[in-house]
Structure 1
């Protein structure tokens, strides 16, 4: 039985006060398919406890059938809002560490030392590291044991700067995610059409571009873990 760690944010607002949080589908699709496989799923966050949900991700035109079913499931919502802290799970073994997105992750993922150490150990042991959308911000400052950035010379993706324009969040986000990835020496690959699914596999590193990649990302992560 595989064991997957899903990492979420604890942040509920931008600096301006506008609400943000976890983008729900970026967690629910991988959670759903892993549970269908009978795998163990652990939800954790930097501080543990409550996980705010970005209100944009639960609007009627955005909320897909799977995400809606979990949002309306009291047991799942209780599990989400009683997430374990990274400190609690830092010494556990996982087949995959998966960083779920949402703009909020740009605040509590990039500089989290526990997360960085967990990802470094996971990656260097040959086990899977996956991140989607803004969750890839949790990878940008991870350094390997030789001092190089994990994402250097890696093909990968993430929410790009033009998509921030479409989302009307360029003035809200604390930094330019696409530029930060490129600065680290990664080969940033984006979909030809913004806001469409794009998943990049580079060895045991898997990244998804945006919320529309959630379903494909989940399928690819499970397929790679099944090999």
Structure 2
């Protein structure tokens, strides 16, 4: 083997290793677009997708977005201000043609390969409260991910996607786990206590979770083993940071 062949093979080996070391993050977002019987629209809270999305992209992760039903993802109109007045991550997302295309054409959660990713991330938005708690495909995916030792992360109303997950012993996934989520007090503050189908903090507590929180709308996130959760939209980036730390990135 001459020197040129040797170095070509060495470069190929290094590149292959770099590709194999890339981490894959799967986002699962809501497909629900209305506040119950109200005419008011809801859906995904955009910052809760955008902030972690770019945290992972900038760290060199491969990112995929799926939704509960597939197709176009509804965005809560309250999560977008006039251009130039949004959080930096939201402005970046709105300008990113690839990212915007990804949320216009999502596969459904039923189509997901159970073992094709290293971390699962569930952003919130009030839509999650209707289409995530009773979704059988999501419940099985979340439980399988957790029991395999991979990371399950959720923020704000995203932990609604943990509500239906049961471990192989039949216990709720969140039982005896430290978790955070949008609090009952925060729900009252936004005036939706009587609109949502249940109060997320209360439901998680009923399932045996140890719900931890900061004052209303203050950033807060925590990890309990491979379960990582955050309280509200400003907590999104903190949750992503904990995921990246768990991925050793």
- Classify the TM-score, shorter chain: over 0.9
Aligned match of 2:96: 73
Q: Whole-Å Cα distance in 1 between the matches of residues 186 and 95 of structure 2?
A: 29
In the alignment, is residue 52 of structure 1 matched against residue 74 of structure 2? Answer: yes
Q: Whole-Å Cα distance in 1 between the matches of residues 203 and 108 of structure 2?
A: 26
8 Å Cα contact 1:90-1:118 kept in structure 2: no
Paired positions, count = 226
- Tell me the TM-score normalised to structure 1 length: 0.95
Aligned match of 2:192: 169
Aligned match of 2:26: 5
Runs of 4+ residues deviating >6 angstroms:
none
Q: Whole-Å Cα distance in 1 between the matches of residues 232 and 176 of structure 2?
A: 21
Aligned match of 1:23: 45
Aligned match of 2:145: 122
CA deviation vs aligned residue, 1:129-171 (integer Å, no higher than 9, x gap) = 0011101011012110001111000010100011011112112
Gaps of 5+ in 2: 1-21
Change in CA separation of 1:24 and 1:201 when aligned onto 2, cut-off 3 Å: same
Q: Whole-Å Cα distance in 2 between the matches of residues 211 and 22 of structure 1?
A: 11
1:40 aligned residue (62, 81, 100): 62
Shift of 1:208: 0.4
Shift of 1:92: 4.0
Shift of 1:222: 1.0
In the alignment, is residue 142 of structure 1 matched against residue 153 of structure 2? Answer: no
Could you tell which deviates more after superposition, 137-146 or 164-173? Answer: 164-173
Shift of 1:62: 7.0
Aligned match of 2:208: 185
Q: Whole-Å Cα distance in 2 between the matches of residues 18 and 51 of structure 1?
A: 16
